[in-house]
Amino acid sequence: MVSEEPATAGEPDDSGADDPAPEASPSSSLSSRSPRSLLAAVRARPRRATLFVVLPALAVVGLISVGLAYRPNSDSVVIAVPSSVVLGPDGIPGQVDGQRVYRMGEKPEWLKLNGSFLLGAYATWFEFPCPMADQPPAEAALLGRCGGIALEPSANTFNRGDTGNGVDLSTLPLAAPKGTDALAGWAGGPAIVMSVHTHDPEALQCTADTMTACWSAVVVEAVVWPTVPSQINGKHVYRATDQASFPPSGSFLLGGPVWKDLGSPCSGPGASEWQALIDLLGFCPSPEIDGLQISPKGSFDEPKDEIVVARVHVNDPEAAKCPSDYRAQCKAAIVVESVVWRSS
């Protein structure tokens, strides 16, 4: 089922919008608060998880065709999707377009490959305490520090506790930081198939102590399954990686997987002199499309892990009422007008 498109998207523009403010920890009370402390309160939501994360189970064996996986209406939807994929018991396809999809457990085999190959996994944010120290650029790009996006072999690799279902935590690969932009919207979500490579040329710049780890780093090039439409009715569908070129005026299309906090209910504050800040940036954890936080001002109530295309805008008129120090963040808030396409 697909929502109606109430209006025509604005013509794309190469101008960018201001980047949103960094996240901070919420506060329990907003009375007599300064704009700075209020912004910290309204911008926070628990997106990153610790290493021990329980993800929704997905162990399905079946055939998913275009008609079953995606149900667009009669509008012109351009989507590069395999005609059919057969899911294994881990919820990951065995092949995509006739190309083998390797599993995380087949690391000894895929580490011998040269060039790009397909790798299936579940992406999960995690972090751990570690000492802060300078890191050579190549190691920062390929190895990172203090966590990142882990590539799990199944939807529920970890239990909350000291071990992860018999998995040696030290062997769980992290996606190389230089390729995680493509993964941000999928972390904590459904199974994905990625085009990746190891033996990245930048590994040659790593130190002798880290050369082997750098050479084995998994660099993500793109997520090839599930897929997101690239156009609807001739209008470009923007992704999170296009944020710098979001049109500054008018509406446009934004597509990607949905993430939302499924934790405890949250009640926002009452009336405030900083109401515009609360309206646009939110107080409770906000849903995301493709890893980008969505303003609570819009109309959006899609289930977690749904893939959607929404008509959105930035530079909402209410941003002019935000405190001047934070007006840029308010202007960058993504307000959903309607959902024009969904995957189910």
Q: What is the pLDDT of residue 17?
A: 39
Q: What is the pLDDT of residue 126?
A: 73
Q: How far is CA 237 from CA 224, 273, 280, 344, in A?
A: 16, 36, 23, 18
Domains present along the chain, CATH in parentheses? 35-45+229-342 (2.40.50), 82-225 (no CATH)
Q: What is the pLDDT of residue 295?
A: 93
Identify the segments of the chain with pLDDT beneath 50: 1-74, 159-166
Global pTM reads 0.68
**At 23, which amino acid appears?**
E
Task: Please state, as a whole number, how many other Cβ atoms lie within 10 Å of the Cβ of residue 302.
Answer: 20
**What is d(CA 66, CA 82) in angstroms, rounded to the nearest whole number?**
7
**What is d(CA 192, CA 250) in angstroms, rounded to the nearest whole number?**
32
Q: What is the pLDDT of residue 157?
A: 58
SS3 of 125, please? Answer: strand
DSSP state letter for 167: B
| Residue 198: closest CA among 289, 264, 115, 121 | 115
CB 76 within 8 A of CB 232: yes
Torsion over CA: 195, 165, 45, 227 (sign) = positive
| Residue 52: closest CA among 226, 169, 130, 199 | 169
C-alpha triplet 53, 295, 29: angle, nearest 5°:
75
Q: Is 107 exposed, middle or buried (0-12, 13-18, 19+ CB in 10 A)?
A: middle
Task: Please state, as a whole number, how many other Cβ atoms lie within 10 Å of the Cβ of residue 138.
Answer: 21
**What is d(CA 173, CA 150) in angstroms, rounded to the nearest whole number?**
6
SS3 of 272, please? Answer: coil
DSSP state letter for 10: P
CB 298 within 8 A of CB 337: yes
Q: What is the pLDDT of residue 81?
A: 52
Q: Residue holding tokens 């930048």?
A: 202
